[in-house]
Every structure is written in C-alpha cells, then in structure tokens.
Amino acid sequence: MAGEAKWYVVHTYSGYENKVATNLEKIVENRKLQEWIHEISIPTETVTEIKDGQKREVERKIFPSYVLVKMVMTDESWFVVRNTRGCTGFVGPNGKPTPLTDEEVAALGVEKHPVEINYTVGDMVRIIDGPLENFSGRVDELDVEKNKVRVTVSMFGRETPVELELDQAELME
C-alpha cells in the first residue's frame, strides 16, 4: 500500500496548523490508520529576525493555513482528514483532493532523501551540476542537515566561495 501514498495539501483555519496536525496524528494512532495516513507535515523555515536591536532565530510557517498529509486516498481516510477539527478541506478543483507531483514534493523539501558523500572538509572536489559544472575547488564547510557544501573555487584568478547542494560535487581522484 505504501506505493499508493501521495502527498495532499489540506487547508486549515488560520493559526490552526499545529492543532490540526496533532489532532490528525492522535486520530490516526487511536483508530490504527497508519496504513492509510502515513505522514503529516507543516513546512517551516528558520528566519533571523531583528527586533529591538536583538537578533533571534524564529521558525516561520512557509504556507500559513496549510498542512501536508501523505496518505492513501480512500473514502475512510478522506473522511477522517476532512472532518478533523480545524480542517476546512483539501486543496484541489471543487474541493476534490489533488496529489502533489514528485517535483512539487522535492521543491518543498518535505521528504528528505539521504545523500551519501565521499568527501570531507579540505578535500578537492569537482562540481558536477549547475552553472559552475566542471570547475573544481576545496571543501571549506559541510552541512549535511541542510544538504549544503561550501566550496572555494578559483575563478578568474580569484578565490570565490560557492554554496552547493551535497550531490552537486564529487571527490576528485
């Protein structure tokens, strides 16, 4: 059944995203619906805010009033999600649930696919994707959590730091 599960967007009352997600998780657990409703996500981003001269990191919802649900669409699973307190319905034409495409899911970064890397800080790497393809440089920083690597590339006689995704570079041999 896991192959049939797709991501759907659920509209909620403003400010009720966390409440809807928690309620839905409890319902899934209590009614043992794990085989139909797999995952519930509220996409957030960390933003640095400056308030009264103080810098602080704040987690902000990317899509206020929306919750993403990975589920197998059946009458029962639709009914459970649709009738969760705070939920106003699914996003789609005439309220008919429309699943997100694989590209949309990847762009939202909802599903994390682990990237295996064979290089570390200080290694020489070749860039294999993007506008700097075939350039090479030294790895300065690795952030596996954020899927980022900072590489210093020599361009036009100058050292230039470039931030890439982990799978855009490979170890030079």
pLDDT category of residue 113 using cuts at 50, 70 and 90: low
Q: What is the per-residue pLDDT across 84-94, written as a single tens digit (0 to 9) for each?
A: 999 998 998 88
Annotated domain spans of the chain: 2-108, 124-171
Question: Tell me, what's the pLDDT at 140?
Answer: 94
Q: What is the per-residue pLDDT across 119-170, written as a single tens digit (0 to 9) for each?
A: 889 999 999 888 889 999 999 998 877 778 999 998 888 999 999 888 888 8
Task: Give exposure, 24-39, as e/b (b: 16+ Cβ within 10 Å).
Answer: beebbeeeebeebbbe
pLDDT > 90 fraction of the chain, expressed in percent and rounded: 37
133: DSSP letter: T
Say which CATH topology domain 124-171 has: SH3 type barrels. (2.30.30)
Residue 58 has phi, psi (to 5 degrees) of: -125, 140
Does the pLDDT at position 110 exceed 70?
A: no
Give the global pTM.
0.61
Question: Tell me, what's the pLDDT at 24?
Answer: 93
Residue 153 three-state SS:
strand
Residue 111 three-state SS:
coil
CATH number of 2-108: 3.30.70.940
What is the distance between the alpha carbons of residues 123 and 171, in angstroms, rounded to a whole number?
Answer: 7
Taking CA atoms, 73 is separated from 37, 58, 101, 162, in Å, by 9, 34, 15, 43
Does the pLDDT at position 1 exceed 50?
A: no
